[in-house]
Amino acid sequence: MFFLQDRVFASGVTLRSCSCIFPTVSLQMKDLACTSDSYVHEQSPSNQTSIAMMQEPQEMVEETVTVEEDPGTPTSHVSIVTSEDGTTRRTETKVTKMVKTVTTRTVRQVPLGPDGLPSMDGSSPMGSYTDSIDRRYMKNGERYITPQASSTLTRSYNNYNDSYPESHEGQYRPYIGHDGYGDLSDNYGSLSRGVNYRPRYAYVPGNSYRPDDGSFTLPSRRDNYGPVAQPQVPVGSNVDLNRSQPERFQPEPYGLEDDNRSLGVDDEGYELDPDYSTVNRRTSAGVPERGRPHKGRGYDDPIETEMVEERIPYLHGGYAAPLAQPERGSMASIDRLGKRSPSIDSIRKDPRWRDPDLPEVIAMLSHPIDPVKSNAAAYLQHLCYENDKIKKDVRHLKGIPILVGLLDHPKPEVHRKACGALRNISYGKDNENKVAIKNCDGIPALIRLLRKTNDMEVRELITGTLWNLSSYEPLKMVIINHGLQTLTNEVIIPHSGWESEPNEDSKPRDAEWTTVFKNTSGCLRNVSSDGAEARRRLRECDGLVDALLHALQSAVGKKDTDNKSVENCVCIMRNLSYHVHKEVPGADKYQELDASQTTSMGGSQKKKKDDAGCFGGKKAKEEWFNQGKKNGDLDRNFDTLDLPKRSEAAKGFELLYQPDVVRLYLSILTESQNFNTLEAAAGALQNLSAGNWMWSTYIRATVRKERGLPVLVELLQSDSDKVVRAVSIALRNLSMDRRNKDLIGSYAMGELVRNLPSRQQRSAKNLEEDTVVAVLNTIHEIITDSSENARSLIQTQGIQKLVAISKSSQSPRETKAASHVLQMIWSYKELRNALQKDGWNKSHFQSVSATPKGSKGIAGRSGYDDSTLPLVDKSQDNEKAGSRDMIPMDELGPDGYSTIDHRDKERKYKTSDNTGDASEKEPLKNDTNRKNINRSNRASVNLVDARDIKPQPVDSWV
């Protein structure tokens, strides 16, 4: 086989002059100060929310609430404003040339563009460079120049190499040298030196230029102003020569010294300066200098020569321009200072200045000089802010792989800015952008960077980007695969305050609600909705559940339960609680007796009716409880229910369903004012109380013992539709416990009925259809097998509302649900007298919608809409016989609430699993909108399940 080794790129030949695109353009400075403003607002939480809302429906697979959000504001840019003055002045002409040089390079790189590939190895020839740089830094005592600086060089060097085929490497060496140089110096002086192609070492002393940089004291400033700030010079080709008279310009940089650089060093540099005079540089950059023996490379090479020549026009032309951008702002400052120089004036008037266009900005991302890269990325972030068109253009122009490539850049300002740009690009409804990031391995790159960096801001940007990405379904698993454990270890656990092995002496720590934590929990919240496999991965992720619970406990302790992080955590918990009883390893051990047994005991219990029905499981459960109690009285047993003693503390996913969590959720339900949090906490209880296994039985009893029922009932008055819905369904699940059912029937019926729309107005609160259906289903469940509860329904004047709904609701689903309730009521013969006294007759209870039922009399819960029967039958066949109580109405309904519906569908896919979910009522919790509905959220679950059945392809760890 023939392999092209190691990322080969198109050959250097591609150099062709992209630069000609902008032959005559000159630079224009962009006012960074303004720009920075907008950065501040970028993706501020408020905007996000709206979008988030729009996106939510999509994401709502199962009970999940997915929100796409961006993290808060990128702040780095703020400092820009401050720094302007200094920057500006420094920018003088000298710079110009360098800029051009730079430009040239850029041009050449353009074709090579997409070396956005991660992972270049560090074996660059830059070593010596690095050394000298370091030394220099030391000398100047510049603190903020970190060792990274040196590595940066290396990196850029590498990039450069990467882009060129090895065979041509030699030719490019000299350039590379520069590049490195450019990098070092955010300062112009060094840049110009670079232009000279002098041997690097010679410049070491020149580092004294550094001090000039002094003005860049703040790293962030520097970021923004970097070389970009420099090129004020409008580029007519030769003009530069004139301009760059050292006398004029040099003083200025030094004028900047107020930036606290030590003069001594500067002076040194000063002396050296003449060497670097623009004129010289000019020449050296020019053809004549080619033959010089710097490093003995390349220029002798004819090809290179050509290229150089070719480049020259561009120097003055196109590419220089974009670089110059930031200057305008700086000029302004100069004006203020009254220091404006004639040259600047002319620059300003020069009509040739302009903003760089998008291709130029993207080209600059590959610029060999780091600050150019970072400025380009920052500018890109700015451009992309709330501008979907630009985001798309960036994608089409292949800018995304380059940005992703920059994530591995060792220099903080470069990867920070790249990350900021990616965050903005990843935000929004256009999922193509997200896919593009994923396709160039952006997700592992982000995760890698997260592991590497300690910079809070970068971490915020990374996790914000991941949050955005996580809102798109197909990327969720990718994020889990690459980043779950890292996100947990790097963010969730440390910020949650949880410690796997707490020290005796250390106090338990509280959670810190940092932005990073918020973003990360938001991301996990989104990915936790991706079906059974995703849930399994999250549950089994070391420390995740423990840490989330710890965080929530601490939130409750501090009464700080309204924030977004808490919301995210609760949502994750809720999602992970979904189907625990089926999906958790060893769950079968805890399964309770199911259908067959249920049925057999059904008769012996309360009513003459066989109430094993679709919720017959409850009987089984109760029975289970009774075992070992040797005591026939159900209710009393429940109240004295002893939870099993654990031999060791629960940990990991076991914590999800330990009865202890009930208290936590109830506290949140009591404390929180955040509707999403309330909904999620109720949803968690709802998920936990569903199902047939031992733990759900405990949960149901524990909710009662912790006095949770009143808390829930009170929330039925909530103004939030979805809270009402979740609580209502939770109550329905809880009422599988007989004692709960009695209590709920007595105390909650009034609230439930109040939530139903009355004839006049749609509803006091104008609840959504889903909510109304949920409430109706809950009422149905509560009155099933309990004539007492049916009686209290009558007493709360519920019949009138029910009849109104069943006769006149616009919604077929509401109509159906209401008529089922009515049928159930009518089935209690002992109540009919009372009903007739109130003026009701049989026709009111024979639903309009259930037309064909005429023949099926009173007992006629079998009188359901025929169309629904087949599905019901199927499910019944699999389960047990006595499912007359089933409520078939929901099977195709969008509201995933009904048990039956859910089970039913599942069963179609999961042939192997018919372990009586008889009594499971797991609501899929969608915050539905219509869209949701059409989207068949359930399908994905089913598919996942289906996949689980298939033999997995062989997969070996090595």
Partner 1 sequence: MSYVPGQPVTAVVQRIEIHKLRQGDNLILGFSIGGGIDQDPTQNPFSEDKTDKGIYVTRVTEGGPAEVAGLQIGDKIMQVNGWDMTMVTHDQARKRLTKRNEEVVRLLVTRQSLQKAVQQSMMS
Q: Does 486 bind partner 1 (CB under 8 A)?
A: yes
Cβ neighbour number for residue 500 with a 10 Å cutoff: 10
One-letter-per-residue 3-state SS of 159-180: HHHHHCCHHHHHHHHHHHHHHH
Closest to partner 1 by CB, 3 or 302 = 3
Q: Does 3 bind partner 1 (CB under 8 A)?
A: yes
Element of type H or E holding 882: none
CB 528 within 8 A of CB 572: yes
- Residue 874: closest CA among 905, 899, 852: 905
CB 558 within 8 A of CB 667: no
Q: How far is the CB of 948 from partner 1 (least distance, A)?
A: 14
CB 323 within 8 A of CB 227: yes
Q: Does 180 bind partner 1 (CB under 8 A)?
A: no
CA dihedral (894, 899, 900, 901) in degrees, to 10, reads 20
Closest to partner 1 by CB, 8 or 138 = 8
Scan residues 8-37 and list those touching partner 1 (CB under 8 A). Answer: 8-10, 14
Element of type H or E holding 353: strand 353-354
Q: Whose structure tokens read 């703020």?
A: 78
**Binding string to partner 1 for residues 604 to 643, with x set by CB under 8 A, is what?**
----------------------------------------
Closest to partner 1 by CB, 477 or 601 = 477
Scan residues 357-416 and list those touching partner 1 (CB under 8 A). Answer: 398, 401
Q: How far is the CB of 535 from partner 1 (least distance, A)?
A: 17
Please give the size of the binding site for partner 1, defined by CB under 8 A: 43
Member of 628, 649, 837, 958 binding partner 1 (CB under 8 A): 958
Q: How far is the CB of 947 from partner 1 (least distance, A)?
A: 10
Q: How far is the CB of 2 from partner 1 (least distance, A)?
A: 5
CB 675 within 8 A of CB 669: no
Which residues pair with residue 26 across a beta bridge?
353
Scan residues 420-439 and list those touching partner 1 (CB under 8 A). Answer: 439
CB 371 within 8 A of CB 222: yes
Closest to partner 1 by CB, 302 or 953 = 953
Candidates 6-14, 382-390, 517-525, 812-820: pick the segment binding partner 1 (CB under 8 A): 6-14
Candidates 7-15, 30-38, 268-276, 284-292: pick the segment binding partner 1 (CB under 8 A): 7-15
Closest to partner 1 by CB, 109 or 468 = 109
Backbone angles phi, psi at 754, to 5 degrees: -60, -30
- Here the tokens at position 808 are 């006149």
Question: What 8-state DSSP symbol labels residue 214?
Answer: G
Q: How far is the CB of 228 from partner 1 (least distance, A)?
A: 24
Closest to partner 1 by CB, 231 or 483 = 483
- Residue 804: closest CA among 757, 842, 764: 757
Which residues pair with residue 353 across a beta bridge?
26
Backbone angles phi, psi at 636, to 5 degrees: -65, -40
Q: How far is the CB of 17 from partner 1 (least distance, A)?
A: 13
Closest to partner 1 by CB, 855 or 956 = 956
Closest to partner 1 by CB, 118 or 617 = 118
CB 174 within 8 A of CB 294: yes
**Binding string to partner 1 for residues 437 to 476, with x set by CB under 8 A, is what?**
--xxx--x--x---x-------------------------
Query: What is the CA 131 to chain-centroid distance, rounded?
Result: 40
- Residue 712: closest CA among 698, 732, 691: 732
Scan residues 936-955 and list those touching partner 1 (CB under 8 A). Answer: 953-955
CB 428 within 8 A of CB 76: no
Q: How far is the CB of 397 from partner 1 (least distance, A)?
A: 11
Candidates 482-490, 697-705, 776-784, 892-900: pick the segment binding partner 1 (CB under 8 A): 482-490
CA distance 776 to 772: 6
Q: How far is the CB of 512 from partner 1 (least distance, A)?
A: 23
Closest to partner 1 by CB, 431 or 486 = 486
Closest to partner 1 by CB, 52 or 110 = 110
Return the SS3 of 27: strand
Member of 367, 482, 739, 902 binding partner 1 (CB under 8 A): 482
CA angle (154, 316, 101) in 5-degree steps:
15
**Binding string to partner 1 for residues 157 to 176, with x set by CB under 8 A, is what?**
------x-------------
CB 884 within 8 A of CB 563: no
Closest to partner 1 by CB, 528 or 849 = 528
Member of 46, 673, 855, 956 binding partner 1 (CB under 8 A): 956
Q: How far is the CB of 640 from partner 1 (least distance, A)?
A: 47
Question: What 8-state DSSP symbol labels residue 325?
Answer: T
- Here the tokens at position 714 are 């009170």
Cβ neighbour number for residue 5 with a 10 Å cutoff: 7
CB 153 within 8 A of CB 47: no
Q: How far is the CB of 569 from partner 1 (least distance, A)?
A: 21
Scan residues 289-348 and list those touching partner 1 (CB under 8 A). Answer: none
CA distances from residue 694 to 600, 703, 741 in whole angstroms, order as listed: 19, 15, 18
Closest to partner 1 by CB, 164 or 216 = 164
- Here the tokens at position 537 are 């991965």
Scan residues 38-57 and list those touching partner 1 (CB under 8 A). Answer: none
Q: Does 481 bind partner 1 (CB under 8 A)?
A: yes
Q: How far is the CB of 64 from partner 1 (least distance, A)?
A: 23
Closest to partner 1 by CB, 63 or 115 = 115
Q: Does 480 bind partner 1 (CB under 8 A)?
A: no
User: Half-sphere exposure of 801 toward its Cβ, with a 13 Å CA cutoff?
Assistant: 25
Q: How far is the CB of 710 from partner 1 (least distance, A)?
A: 45
Return the SS3 of 354: strand
Closest to partner 1 by CB, 160 or 897 = 160
Scan residues 107-126 and list those touching partner 1 (CB under 8 A). Answer: 110-119
Q: How far is the CB of 528 from partner 1 (least distance, A)?
A: 18
Q: Which residues of 612-623 are buried (b: 16+ CB within 10 A; e: fewer)?
A: bbbbbbbbbbbb
CA distance 434 to 526: 14
Closest to partner 1 by CB, 358 or 831 = 358
Q: How far is the CB of 115 from partner 1 (least distance, A)?
A: 7
Q: How far is the CB of 12 from partner 1 (least distance, A)?
A: 11
Backbone angles phi, psi at 629, to 5 degrees: -90, -25
- Residue 266: closest CA among 390, 90, 421: 90
656 Cβ partners below 8 Å, 6+ apart?
Answer: 539, 545, 573, 576, 577, 580, 584, 688
Return the SS3 of 591: strand
Candidates 477-485, 556-564, 588-596, 637-645: pick the segment binding partner 1 (CB under 8 A): 477-485
Q: How far is the CB of 447 from partner 1 (least distance, A)?
A: 7
Member of 501, 627, 632, 957 binding partner 1 (CB under 8 A): 957
Q: How far is the CB of 527 from partner 1 (least distance, A)?
A: 15
Q: How far is the CB of 448 from partner 1 (least distance, A)?
A: 8
Candidates 484-492, 650-658, 672-680, 727-735: pick the segment binding partner 1 (CB under 8 A): 484-492
The residue ranges that bind partner 1 (CB under 8 A) are 1-10, 14, 110-119, 163, 398, 401, 439-441, 444, 447, 451, 478, 481-486, 953-958
